[in-house]
Structure formats: C-alpha cells, structure tokens
C-alpha cells in the first residue's frame, strides 16, 4: 500500500517535470523528436536508479556514520558525475548496442537536476533503500511520461500555424503549461 502511494505520487500527482520543475533542460531540449525522447528517457531511468542506490549507501554508511552530513551536496554531485562516466565506459565495453542508443545522452545527464534532485529527495523523505529504489523508478517513469507526451505534442506543433511572435520556445512553454494543467487534475489522488 505504502509502495503504491509512492509510485502514484511520483508519477502522477507530483510529476517530477511538470509539478516539481526538475529536469526541465532535457524536457525542453530533447523533446523535439519522439525517438530522441525515448533514448533520453532510457538513459535517465538507468542513471537515476543507479545514482539513488549509490548515494543512499554513501549517505548512510559514510556521511551519517561520520557526521559529515554537510558534505552532502559535494559528495553527491561528485558521485553522480563519476557514475555517469563509469556507466559510459562499461556500456561501451559490455553492450555496444545499448551504448549506441543511449551514448550521446549520457554526458548530458550529469547536469540534469532530476538525478541529483531525486537522490536528495530520497534522503530528505527518509525512505529506506527499497522505498528509495521504488521512488527512483517511479520518478523515472514520470519523467518519461512527461517527456514522451510533450514530444508528441511538439511534433504536432511543427505542423500548426503558430503566431509569429510565439514560434519556438514560447509556444513550447505555453503547451507545457497546459500539459501541467492537465496533470493538476491528479492532485488529491494520494
């Protein structure tokens, strides 16, 4: 039951992109084509779950154990940055096909605030490791849902007759606002 609340809360009610404004850069940057959106979602999901597990272990066994909680920001960003590098190297060796699909998105992920955000939120909400992993997976799904919906909308926007002043970023932001409005319908669900 508790897990269900976490999952629905993270995917629909507090959607990480549309309600919490994390990961807006990839949301606006790679949402022009559906295919790139799918690749980005895969890469984010992969790193988000891995980063949450690693940062959780570091927080519990190193930072908390030695009273170094104030080093959280520095420790987490360094871990995430090196993790991304590591994932890139391992993927290149182990699964060239997956590397081909996700490769170009991996370097962008270090500065994706959704990853660091979810890692810090997991600590702030005092989840245990299982809840943390479920929370990360649900947030990755929520990120993918928002990104794919938005990519679909933008592919259609290309064909529409948008007023000249609103072309490009302005109309994309306004459509994102309307999408966020739709997600507000889920509030109160949990």
Give the alpha-carbon dihedral of 8, 11, 14, 16, to 10 degrees.
Answer: 160
Contact indicator for 30, 160 with CB cutoff of 8 Å: no
| Interaction of residue 180 with another protein, rule CB under 8 A | yes
| Interaction of residue 124 with another protein, rule CB under 8 A | yes
Minimum CB separation from another protein for residue 175, in Å? 8
| Interaction of residue 96 with another protein, rule CB under 8 A | no
State the number of binding residues for another protein (CB under 8 A): 42
Among 4, 5, 57, 74, binds another protein (CB under 8 A): 74
Question: Which range, of 1-9, 69-77, 96-104, 127-135, touches another protein by CB under 8 A?
Answer: 69-77
Contact indicator for 10, 16 with CB cutoff of 8 Å: yes
| Interaction of residue 169 with another protein, rule CB under 8 A | yes
d(CA 148, CA 31): 7
Angle, vertex CA 18, rays to CA 13 and CA 20, nearest 5? 75
- Burial of 179 from C-beta contacts in 10 A (0-12 / 13-18 / 19+): middle
Among 10, 11, 12, 23, binds another protein (CB under 8 A): 23
Residues found near another protein in the complex (CB under 8 A):
18-25, 28, 70-74, 77-78, 81-82, 110-113, 116-117, 120-121, 124, 165-166, 169-174, 176-178, 180-181, 183-184
């Amino acid at each position: 039951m508790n897990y269900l609340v976490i999952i629905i809360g993270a995917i629909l009610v507090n959607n990480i992109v549309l309600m919490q404004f994390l990961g807006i850069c990839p949301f606006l940057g790679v949402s022009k084509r559906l295919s790139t959106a799918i690749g980005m979602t895969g890469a984010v999901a992969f790193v988000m779950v891995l980063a949450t597990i690693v940062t959780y272990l570091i927080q519990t066994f190193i930072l908390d154990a030695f009273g170094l909680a104030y080093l959280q920001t520095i420790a987490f960003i360094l871990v995430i940055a090196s993790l991304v590098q590591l994932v890139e190297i391992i993927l290149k060796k182990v699964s060239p096909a997956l590397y081909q699909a996700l490769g170009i998105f991996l370097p962008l992920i270090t500065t994706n605030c959704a990853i660091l955000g979810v890692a810090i939120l997991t600590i702030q909400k005092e989840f245990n490791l299982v809840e943390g992993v479920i929370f990360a997976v649900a947030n990755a799904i929520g990120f993918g849902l928002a990104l794919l919906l938005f990519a679909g909308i933008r592919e259609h926007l290309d064909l529409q007759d948008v007023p000249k002043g609103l072309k490009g970023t302005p109309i994309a932001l306004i459509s994102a606002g309307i999408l966020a409005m739709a997600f507000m319908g889920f509030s109160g669900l949990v």
